[in-house]
Structure 1
Amino acid sequence: MASGGRSRSGALLADLLQSCIDKKCLSSGKLLHGRLHRLNLLTDTFLFNRLIELCSKCADTGYARRVFDRMPHRDVYSWNAMLGVYCKSGKLEEAHELFEQMPERNAVSWNNVISALAKSELEGKALDVFYEMVLQGIMPTRFTLASVFSACGALSNVACGGCCHGLVLKIGLDNNVYVGNALLGMYAKCGCYEDAARAFGDVRDPNEVSVTAIMGVLAQTERVQEALHMFRLMCRKGIHVDSVSLSSVLGLCTKGVNEEPDAADGEGSMLSLCFPLGQQVHGLSAKLGFEKYLHLCNSLLNMYAKSGDMNSAEKIFNNLLPKEVSIVTWNVMIAGYGLKSQTDKAILLLHRMQSLGFEPDDVTYINMLAGCIRSEDIATAQDMFDSMSVPMLNSWNAMISCYFQSGHDAEALNFFRKMQFQGVQPDRTTLAVVLSLCAGMGHLEFGRQVHTVSLKGTSTMDVYVASGLISMYSKCEKADLAQLVFSKMTEIDIVCWNSMMGGLALNSRDIEAFFLFKEMQQREMRPSQFSYTTILSSCSKLPSSFQGRQLHALVAKDGHLNDVFVGSAIVDMYCKCGDVDGARRFFDAMPVRNTVTWNEMIHGYAQNGRGHEAVSLYRYMVESSEERPDNITFVAVLTACSHGGMVDEGMGIFNSMQQDYRVEPTLDHYTCIIDSLGRAGRFNEAETFIEMIPNKDDPIVWEVLLSSCRVHGNVSFARIAAKELLRLDPENSGPYVLLANIYASLGRWDEARTVRELMNCNKVVKNPGYSWIDIKSGEQTSLEDDLKMVEG
């Protein structure tokens, strides 16, 4: 007899069955089953349990059930083994029926059912079974709690997960790494990242799973550098590094190289930190023998492709045999070429991929189309789209975006129509792009149609689409319709608030924009940088500067003073309210300035009659700043020269535009020079200059010259300018009025009367002017007082 009372033949059969289990050899197991019958070992429950275990390994539920049914003696292990067979094969109804028939259940029985339900995406039922298990007094094990935490994470049921966390502490499993990892994962899936970090801290001996999980948590909270530091710590502590850990780190490196550098941290761009680490991980993966693991190779390719190093990506790719790659591998390479705008290489790779028997999927085509969009290769994008048998929605969206970004707005709208004719339902991305098209083209009627499409089949408006509608109606000068869309929103995010404020400001309804900003604050919606930029622009057009100063204080309170766009808006606000010195003090204190900031300050000096300071600041900009002057810069400084009587200074700056900065002069620049020459009374030079400009038939050129003639009483040039204006714009009352005023100022009343009679004869009507003032009586008026004054 063998030890434990089993015969020598029984012990031999047990060893043979174990060998079959290890090799998953069911045919040999069936032969051993027959041997059991011949040796009359039918009462050896242990051997039959092993036979059921073999059936489980080989996924043969039918044979396992026949063995189970014919067992003369079953113990709890027999029932659990059969239950495990059903659970593993996903036959949950049979598993439930068997579970109900079990004469005795232990923790393994409950674990089998809970785990099977959780893996089959029946997490709610898994939790119900767990509650029943606890009520029956069965102590959960680490395997039970791991499945339960997985179910809680999938359901985002942090309340249940928190209760189970308490149970973990109560039964003393808080130091178990298996439970700790599951707890960490649950909190991460529920978005409780601080709790996840604490759960990681409670794991006494973290393993590679723990570290990989916490790196994912840190990445979710945009703490990429901390996540990478965690990986370094993992290596220093000698924690086992597997291919999954390395793939996770490469994902972090990829995320890092695509992030914008933080200008305030002084640590340089994330690219300079993450890309070298990615290269080190590449070397480590080769050292550990993981270089042929496909998922790791794909991660390496993705990291190199996203960082723009296609040479390294090509070396890895070329070392892989065709049988070692997947469709994901090809897609990553095509996406990499797309990011580099190398559509020719992407097309060659696509053809090579197809020649080797790989069929492109939706991701392949999307990556190809994205590459075409970046390189503005519409023809190739269209050919690629036409080659698709059934284009998916993402492909339609990509084509619409391709036409939109290439400036082919009409073609983009036609593509949208074609999409509708083929019965493809647009999503929020489609509608947002098409609404942007309508806004840019001023295509109100088409925008209304898109509005109708967006409401089809839904009772609530998507905030993303609503923001596009508000912007479209606003840009089409239908602010009332924009407000109607806004008022019907049940949930409004900061983007919608900003769109509505921007729309009101765009339509010169600045007081309403300010009231909307106050309402947003009352609803405890925190303003963003764009909110402040928009409302500061509105404040600069209001009759009172008091509101602008209040906003400046709010910006400081919310910590947006260092934002260059908000800062530029503050400079503009102070300048337009006449407080140029206040604007300059803020300008000098700004840690970061861009070209817009310099332009606002220069223009502020110009508009407030401080031309010499404007020119001085311009000189300082070109000599000490990294920002190059642009079209707007030259308009501002030339305006300053014109208003300040610095004619020769202005001519010198004008001549330097093309020579030194390669900025082509526009009508605004030419007009500034004509205005400057006219103000100085240098009419002969102005006439010569007008002959040189390419757009001398624009009315503004002659309006500027006519205004200067009035200042200097130059009748001869005034007649020439008025004649040109009447030729270009016969219904404009401006030249009649200006010419009549010139005659009147010189006491030539008969000629003035003649001009007025000619104006009446031609039925030209002068538009009435208006003005308003800001009334102050001891104290600064509030915005509400200003509004009452305007309405009164």
Structure 2
Amino acid sequence: MRLSHLPIGRSPNSFAKVLITHSWAIKSGTLSDIYIANNILCGYSRRQESWLAHKLFDEMSQRDSVSWNTMIAGNVNRGNFENAWEFFKNMKKCGFELDGYTFGSLLKGVASAHQWSIGQQVHSMIVKMGYAENVYCGSALLDMYAKCGRVEDAFLVLEGMPERNPVSWNALISGYVQLGDRDTAFLLFACMEQEGLKIEDGTIAPLLTLLDDAEFYLSTMQMHGKAIKHGLEFENKVCNATITSYSECGSIADAKKVFDGSFGTRDLVTWNSMLGAYLVHNKEECAFNLFIDMQRFGFEPDIYSYTSIISACFEEEHKKHGKSLHGLIIKRGLEQSVPVCNALIAMYLKSNTRSMVEPLSIFESMEFKDRVSWNSILTGLSQVGLSEDALKFFGHMQFAILEIDHYSFSAVLRSCADLATLQLGQQVHVLAIKSGLNSNEFVVSSLIFMYAKCGIIEDARKSFEENPKDSSITWNSIIFAYAQHGQGYIALDFFSQMKMREEVKLDHITFVAVLTACSHMGLVEEGCKLLKSMEFKHGIPPRVEHYACAVDMYGRAGRLDEAKALVESMPFEPDAMVWKTLLSACRACGNIEFASQVASHLLDVEPEEHCTYVILSDLYRLLRRWDESASVKRLMRQRGVKKVPGWSWIEIKNEVHAFKAEDRLHPNSDDIYFLLGVFMDEIRRLDDVDDLEVFMYSLG
């Protein structure tokens, strides 16, 4: 048997066959036969054994174009385009003939590496050497331009091709799909049909990814029909894309029908597509059942499966499932997978426990952490009110990772705002400028928020004015800033300016901000008009937070009956936020009877929330109804609810000092209380207001 006829394929034991062939070639002295050497070289390249392929290539006494093409293709397939490019340049220097396979492999590497400028050089060589009309080269050129986002150039290549095949059309369609150009992609598809070209899974699947909204439901049905017509409905790519498209168009029922119909041809992506569809439609229980079924049918979940199903456990009601999944992940040995760990951290952060114990435990156990890991913990610390810890953690981040991104700056600026630490906030602002992220919309929004919370509304406005004004995020922030500073008319003026900008889209947060401004300024009629105009004029249905703002607005104006009527007219059940706002309105208006009714609703919804007990008890106390006040406090004790003390912060020489009433934790508390006692004794000795005013003036 000739060595050149030994089968060298892609089977699991083919690498052993390549080694045997190589050994026999050395032993028999036939390695000098260029056909045999190329066959072995091809075997190593296919098996991704790059070092053996390189070693053999260097030892070959003779080489031809096939040898060089094999090395170029091998490096491209391994994702090492730089090496492939070097082999190409050396091949050219050594005078070997370049052919369609050379250019085809090289252009595939250019496309993967997105090296468009090199692609242009290769295109020039193809034209010079007369390969412009070669179908293989033309398809590779078109694919390269399309994947590099140069669809106009890809289109020109297609027009110049004497023979257009489905591969060329599919590459061009995929290029327009990648750019999100729906109209052109479907126009090309129509042209394909007119030319009578074969429609493949690579044609229909990319187009389905563009049908991702309810308005495209009929188009999805049409594409599904075409897939059936061409016998492609059971092709995995088409089936999976159809499930996702139906789901994103709002029809989970149709997605389920496609999934059920693919029983004999499902792959892991099919299961994951259906899993994602259930989660998009908030059908968490169906998602959990599907996750179990996929394993019963022998499909091992991958990283996507785990991260998706973990996202279904964010709500408190599914917390037990989340803990079970965490155990399964440890059992399957995935506890060091960065995406899975990040998903677990997010799950624990969003499970409404306001505890950082589990997220920090997972974070500390991770051998490798990416920016998402760090930012998740930083954001979590900021959101649960551990702002001092967030600032310290940000300091650790600067030493642990090379680059701080806009998520990091946004989170740490929010912590600076919560603590009203102006000096630290200004330092972070400088860091953002140095990093070139000071104009990022999220960073600008956080800067506005930070300066406003620190009482420097002028700097908040400066941050807004000095940066691009093409995002609703920054507009919403500046409206909020002026609303919270009691400058409602300026806030409304910004709202008017925002409406005049075509590139800025109003959203539900805009109306929360502007309703807040109306509430703080007592502009009840203006606020009512805005609430009514939201849906019919701007297409934004009012949410629960908008009703809460309106209730607050009526309460501040002393119009409790209208606040009550508004809550009763809401198109959905009031949540805790609305009841709390209404309770505050009752307190402001001194209506104890209605306050008791509202408090009973709140105690059912949030029995562990201390604010309700405190507000109701204080209200009874102010009206000298001592028995009811004591009864509320007794109920609070019985339920084990404790009042969370309010903290104050002061920043001195870049150091934040936190304290609360009767606090003895500060290291200098003895000196502080001694000095406070001296002040109190001095105040008691003062006989009249004038002396007191002089004394207070001398202190400050």
Over residues 396-421 of structure 1, what are the superposed CA-to-partner deviations in whole Å (9 max), with x where a residue is unaligned? 11110011112222211121122233
Contact residue 674 and residue 689 of structure 1 kept, 8 A: yes
Find 1:115's aligned residue among 29, 32, 41: 41
Asked if 1:346 corresponds to 2:220, the answer is no
Deviation at 1:544, TM superposition (A): 1.7
Contact residue 541 and residue 576 of structure 1 kept, 8 A: yes
Classify the secondary structure of the residue corresponding to 1:578: coil
* Residue in structure 2 matched with residue 49 of structure 1 by the alignment: none
Contact residue 587 and residue 595 of structure 2 kept, 8 A: no
* Residue in structure 2 matched with residue 615 of structure 1 by the alignment: 492
Contact residue 617 and residue 633 of structure 2 kept, 8 A: no
1:652-671 correspondence to structure 2 within 5 Å: 652-671=529-548
* Residue in structure 1 matched with residue 483 of structure 2 by the alignment: 606
Change (3 A) 1:95 1:742: closer
* Residue in structure 2 matched with residue 453 of structure 1 by the alignment: 328
Contact residue 278 and residue 286 of structure 2 kept, 8 A: yes
Asked if 1:364 corresponds to 2:238, the answer is yes
Deviation at 1:503, TM superposition (A): 2.8
* Residue in structure 2 matched with residue 12 of structure 1 by the alignment: none
210-219 or 721-730, which moves further after superposition?
210-219
1:694-713 correspondence to structure 2 within 5 Å: 699-709=579-589
Change (3 A) 1:571 1:758: same
Change (3 A) 1:254 1:534: farther
Aligned-partner residue type, residue 316 of structure 1: M
Structure-1 separation of matches of 2:431 and 2:519: 37
Deviation at 1:562, TM superposition (A): 2.8
Asked if 1:633 corresponds to 2:514, the answer is no
Classify the secondary structure of the residue corresponding to 1:458: coil
519-528 or 124-133, which moves further after superposition?
124-133
Deviation at 1:588, TM superposition (A): 0.8
* Residue in structure 2 matched with residue 596 of structure 1 by the alignment: 473
Structure-1 separation of matches of 2:644 and 2:539: 41
Asked if 1:290 corresponds to 2:216, the answer is no
Change (3 A) 1:554 1:243: farther
Deviation at 1:771, TM superposition (A): 3.4
Contact residue 250 and residue 303 of structure 1 kept, 8 A: no
Deviation at 1:468, TM superposition (A): 0.4
Over residues 172-222 of structure 1, what are the superposed CA-to-partner deviations in whole Å (9 max), with x where a residue is unaligned? x7723659x8xxxxxxxxxxxxxxxxxxxxxxxxx8777766655554455
Deviation at 1:604, TM superposition (A): 1.1
Classify the secondary structure of the residue corresponding to 1:316: helix
Classify the secondary structure of the residue corresponding to 1:464: helix
Aligned-partner residue type, residue 100 of structure 1: K
Structure-2 separation of matches of 1:671 and 1:298: 52
Structure-1 separation of matches of 2:574 and 2:287: 35
Contact residue 574 and residue 580 of structure 1 kept, 8 A: yes
Structure-1 separation of matches of 2:289 and 2:106: 48
* Residue in structure 2 matched with residue 97 of structure 1 by the alignment: 24
Asked if 1:279 corresponds to 2:155, the answer is yes
1:216-615 correspondence to structure 2 within 5 Å: 219-222=111-114, 226=117, 240-241=131-132, 242-255=134-147, 274-285=150-161, 289-291=162-164, 293-303=165-175, 307-308=181-182, 309-320=185-196, 325=198, 329-337=200-208, 339-340=210-211, 341=216, 342-354=219-231, 360-387=234-261, 388-389=263-264, 391-440=266-315, 443-458=318-333, 461-476=336-351, 477=353, 478-615=355-492
Change (3 A) 1:617 1:210: farther
Asked if 1:176 corresponds to 2:77, the answer is no
Aligned-partner residue type, residue 97 of structure 1: W
619-628 or 112-121, which moves further after superposition?
112-121
Structure-1 separation of matches of 2:113 and 2:361: 37
Structure-2 separation of matches of 1:440 and 1:177: 66
Contact residue 143 and residue 154 of structure 2 kept, 8 A: no
Aligned-partner residue type, residue 244 of structure 2: A
Classify the secondary structure of the residue corresponding to 1:444: helix
Deviation at 1:427, TM superposition (A): 0.6
Deviation at 1:149, TM superposition (A): 6.0
Change (3 A) 1:177 1:244: farther
Find 1:733's aligned residue among 593, 607, 613: 613
Deviation at 1:644, TM superposition (A): 2.5
Change (3 A) 1:101 1:238: closer
Deviation at 1:630, TM superposition (A): 2.8
The number of residues matched between the two structures is 631
Structure-1 separation of matches of 2:31 and 2:592: 108
* Residue in structure 2 matched with residue 29 of structure 1 by the alignment: none
Change (3 A) 1:784 1:556: farther
Aligned-partner residue type, residue 582 of structure 2: W
Structure-2 separation of matches of 1:145 and 1:482: 52
Structure-1 separation of matches of 2:386 and 2:225: 55
Aligned-partner residue type, residue 313 of structure 1: F
Structure-2 separation of matches of 1:113 and 1:725: 83
Deviation at 1:470, TM superposition (A): 0.8
Structure-1 separation of matches of 2:535 and 2:82: 67
Structure-1 separation of matches of 2:152 and 2:530: 46
Classify the secondary structure of the residue corresponding to 1:775: strand
Classify the secondary structure of the residue corresponding to 1:774: strand
1:88-167 correspondence to structure 2 within 5 Å: 93=20, 96-102=23-29, 108=34, 111-112=37-38, 115-119=41-45, 121=47, 122-130=49-57, 138=61, 147=70
Structure-2 separation of matches of 1:430 and 1:413: 11
Structure number with larger C-alpha Rg: 1
Contact residue 301 and residue 316 of structure 1 kept, 8 A: no
- 5+ residue gaps in structure 1? 1-61, 66-82, 182-206, 258-273, 711-717, 744-750
Aligned-partner residue type, residue 244 of structure 1: Y
Classify the secondary structure of the residue corresponding to 2:649: coil
Contact residue 483 and residue 500 of structure 1 kept, 8 A: yes
- TM value normalised by structure 1: 0.69
Contact residue 649 and residue 657 of structure 2 kept, 8 A: no
Contact residue 421 and residue 650 of structure 2 kept, 8 A: no
Structure-2 separation of matches of 1:724 and 1:582: 44
Structure-1 separation of matches of 2:32 and 2:567: 98
Change (3 A) 1:604 1:218: farther
Deviation at 1:336, TM superposition (A): 1.8
Change (3 A) 1:232 1:704: farther
- TM value normalised by structure 2: 0.77
Aligned-partner residue type, residue 176 of structure 1: C
Structure-2 separation of matches of 1:84 and 1:94: 8
Classify the secondary structure of the residue corresponding to 2:313: helix
Over residues 317-352 of structure 1, what are the superposed CA-to-partner deviations in whole Å (9 max), with x where a residue is unaligned? 35336xxx48xx244225424533533223323332
Contact residue 139 and residue 167 of structure 2 kept, 8 A: yes
Change (3 A) 1:502 1:421: farther
Structure-2 separation of matches of 1:209 and 1:132: 23
Change (3 A) 1:784 1:489: farther
* Residue in structure 2 matched with residue 722 of structure 1 by the alignment: 595
- 5+ residue gaps in structure 2? 668-700
Contact residue 253 and residue 275 of structure 1 kept, 8 A: yes
Contact residue 142 and residue 178 of structure 1 kept, 8 A: yes
Over residues 417-437 of structure 1, what are the superposed CA-to-partner deviations in whole Å (9 max), with x where a residue is unaligned? 222333321110000000111
Deviation at 1:534, TM superposition (A): 2.6
Amino-acid identity (%): 23
